[in-house]
Amino acid sequence: MVPPPSEETLSESTEANPQPQARAPGRIKESGTQSKKKERLRLMRDKQFHRQGFKEQRDEVEKTMDNEYQSALVKDLRSNQYVMERDGVRVHLAKDFGFCWGVERSIALAYEAVNHFPDKKVHITNELIHNPEVNDRLHDMKVNFIEKIPEEGNPNKKDFGTIGDGDVVILPAFGASFEEMQYLHKKNVEIVDTTCPWVSRVWNSVDMHQKKGMTSVIHGKYAHEETVATTSFCEDYICVKNKKEAQMVCDYILEGGDKEAFLKYFEKAVSSGFDPDKHLTKVGLANQTTMYKKETREIGQMLQKTMMKKYGPVDSKDHYMEFDTICDATQERQDAVTELVENTEKLGLDFILVVGGWDSSNTSHLLEIPVKAGIRAFHINRADCIKPDNTITHRNMSGDIVTESFMDMGKDVVLGITSGASTPDAAVQDTLSSVFLLKQLHAQAKE
């Protein structure tokens, strides 16, 4: 995996611009206007804003994380060309899987913060990452997860009333909204920012859109924590979650249509005062870092072709721009499970297991790859989804949690396995241990 840009570089280059009053498309924001980028940099320079962690805690935290999240079984798989046979089960592990650099960094920063402030109450504004084991561990460490209290018109409202003077507040790997950062800055609290640097790259992209007077088209899920943070740094934006919604945007750019119906459909996914007749004349594409990269590329091609058709090949460059903001780790994991899928017949795979939080976007996209290829696959969030009665509880492509029959016990089993970027190796080990144990129990019952 290519290392992310340095923290120092990101602090100067990856923040977003402000949301001034309505302006004509194409007009560049006046230089005298105080930008959100400048404001965020100002907040980050405060002595109570911590982004580099606490070095005196580093060695202890590293040992703790190794004990809690590493796996001897996974190390054996890696050293044996990602293949293992045990108890009538042959395992093929994807060659890229599990914790990415950004996730490990966020966990380490959170652990260091808890240790560094032993006498202070510690809060976090969201789940640190979308993984149940990690978030359960933070609960065990007495970290208070800020409660969401959604209301009409503000589905992301949170109860910050539990935060007291002098407390510690952790910002999760997904980042925090501009408004949350401003609010916390006004309180006398220590802020520990664990935002993944790859997420900050997206903020740099939407900043460029704003500078060029463009509306940000964000390929992402409008309610996802990362996208909520990103849109808070935008001026004008629209979120599209898939090619179907992107096609709706392209059709409107070319043909216009029923504005009221368009706005009704995207009412939760657009900026305040969004006008498709005005705000879709110049657009820039960015994406939630955990989305399916193939789909993002296809959406980019759709938008580019639309602008060429609308404005011609020469002028279209003034109406469309894009940046690749899918993080390397996400792409590597997608490529690795694609390799498993392409070799399913050769390897004789019966199914593929995808391990990771059910609300993890990057993990859900790993499931899409085998399912769309017609290969049996299961997305589980914990090892105990595999039951002693040979059933498995899993999240399907529609997002439903279902239970069904699992393995064919009349034969040796061949499986592929991968895990999301927010999933520790220990979760993969626990999952495989459950599979091995199930086969053992069946073999003993036959004797």
Q: How far apart are CA 368 and CA 162, in angstroms?
A: 39
Sign of the Cα pseudo-torsion (294, 300, 304, 306, in order): positive
Task: Give catalytic status of residue 245 as yes or no.
Answer: no
Q: Is 170 exposed, middle or buried (0-12, 13-18, 19+ CB in 10 A)?
A: buried
pLDDT tens digits for 385-422? Answer: 999 999 999 999 999 999 999 999 999 999 999 999 99
Query: Do residues 357 and 410 lie in contact, with contact meaning Cβ atoms separated by under 8 Å?
Result: no
Confidence of residue 325 (pLDDT cuts 50, 70, 90): confident
How far apart, in whole angstroms, are the C-alpha atoms of residue 326 and residue 321?
16
Q: What is the rounded CA–CA span in Å between residue 206 and residue 46?
A: 24
Name the pairing type of β-strands 391-395 and 401-405.
antiparallel
**Residue ranges of the alpha helices (H) in 70-171?**
72-79, 101-116, 132-140
pLDDT for residue 277 is more than 90: yes
pLDDT higher than 50, residue 31: no
pLDDT tens sequence across 427-440: 999 999 999 999 99
Which residue type sits at 203? W
pLDDT tier at 443, thresholds 50, 70, 90:
confident
DSSP label at 318? G
- Percent above pLDDT 90 for the chain: 77
Q: Report pTM.
A: 0.86
CA distance linking residue 282 with residue 270, whole number of Å: 15
- Marked catalytic residue, from 15, 112, 226, 245: 226
- Residues 196 and 280 sit within 8 Å (Cβ to Cβ): no
Average pLDDT over residues 314-343: 89
Dist CA 309 CA 61 (whole Å): 55
Stretch among 99-103, 105-109, 272-276, 323-327 having the lowest mean pLDDT: 323-327
